Chains A and B, each alone.
Chain A
């Protein structure tokens, strides 16, 4: 299994509070991704990173920010959580974006509830 650790695994928070989710990898992969997964939707990309301090927006980036200060860590921040951000959040990593090396491997997920 790819060495990906997400923390926390579960979190309950209140509307309006800031929340930070952490993804840590031990594979030294260049690319890291944050997805959310909701019933009736596929996995949807929030943000991704292609290197330290290099990030870009995905399909559903509104209300989220990210940071990557080290190769191994990718943080996802909800500046002011809303109930619509209740979801399961998955971190993924890939070695490259070309051919077979762009296979994404997923962390175990963080289940976030915003009350």
Chain B
């Protein structure tokens, strides 16, 4: 089975850095994905990790440790528009399984 855990809510200040953690237990591992979802909108793809280490893409970075079943999404230079839900998803042997999402509120 699959178990994916991430914090329910986080709050951070505009201009700051925030780290959103995701831990998982899966039968098989074929990649970890991060998606961003603004309220009332579709999830949009942010990052993909299949090997251990850090993937950087502009203000967003994602880290993976397969041995620890752990990932994080790092958001730098926070902007108000970054207020959204961030979904961690793990592909096991077959399907893509999603965590419940972390709702991030960026305050002025």
Q: Hey, which bits of chain A sit against chain B, CB under 8 A?
A: 40-45, 48, 58-59, 90, 99-100, 102-109
When the two chains form the complex, which single residue of A42, A45, A48 contacts B101, counting CB atoms closer than 8 Å? A42
Q: Hey, which bits of chain B sit against chain A, CB under 8 A?
A: 4, 30-31, 33, 41-45, 48, 50, 87, 89, 91, 95-101
- Bound complex: CA of A67 vs CA of B98, how far in Å? 24
Secondary structure at the A interface, as helix, strand, loop or mixed, is loop
A59-B95, A104-B96 known; A43-B43 Cβ under 8 A:
yes
Q: Is the CB of A105 within 8 A of B45?
A: yes
When the two chains form the complex, which single residue of A44, A103, A105 contacts B48, counting CB atoms closer than 8 Å? A103
Q: Is the CB of A90 within 8 A of B42?
A: yes
A90-B43, A109-B42 known; A43-B48 Cβ under 8 A:
no
A42-B87, A42-B101 known; A58-B95 Cβ under 8 A:
yes
